[in-house]
Amino acid sequence: LRLSPGRIQQFVHAIDVTEIDRYDPATDTITVVGVMPKDLGYTSAVWDGNNAYVFAGVNNIVFTNTIVRFSPSTNTAQVVASLPDISYATSAVWDGNNAFVFGGQQLAGHPQLAKIDRYNPTSNSVSTASAAFPFGIADSAAIFSGSAAYVFGGSSFTAGPLDEIWKYDTSADQLTLSAATLPSPNAHFSAIWDGHNAYL
């Protein structure tokens, strides 16, 4: 790869972003409100009602396992804990008590993780659920319906591109495969829950 100095600067800037932006739909404005402890990409995040938690990701070309808490009340972000493994391209949900982080890629070219990690902000502790996917999964999207988490699609070295929908009962720590499938395999996408349906 050969780049001019100007292109190198542009390339580095594109992967070296630490800012935290706030978007206000009422005024249709974006404001930079803080900075992350380090630049991160391919993360997942949840909101617990008071703070945001950002899980793992890629720091430039270094893979991380950090959990970063962002507090809008003070516009500060800090590393508060670590996941058991470095990972990126995870998905995550908040069930009202805990954050659950699904799968992820450990290193480029390496098999994905099949596990589910549980993070409790009150005790600031991380544990690995007993339930696990039958194969490693990354690049999925996930929502919490109010009673269960649903993990959509993703990619897997073992199973290939995925069209599955997995239901995870966070209280019972039980993972089941749904009868429905996505119209086609999908990865690198997002999902939301509107109170009745998930939209991908």
pLDDT in tens, 6-42: 433 333 434 558 999 999 999 999 999 999 999 999 9
Query: Residue 156 pLDDT more than 60?
Result: yes
Q: What is the pLDDT of residue 7?
A: 39
Indicate the pTM of the whole model. Answer: 0.91
Mean pLDDT value across the chain: 91
Structure tokens at 54: 């950002």
Give the other-Cβ count within 10 Å of 152's Cβ.
24
Q: Strands (DSSP E) along 123-163, which ranges?
A: 125-132, 141-144, 149-152, 155-156, 160-161
Amino acid at 48: D
Is it the case that residue 196 has pLDDT exceeding 90? yes
pLDDT of residue 158: 86
Q: Which residue has the tokens 């390496």?
A: 110
d(CA 156, CA 169): 22
What per-residue confidence (pLDDT) applies to 62? 87
What is the model's pLDDT at position 16?
55
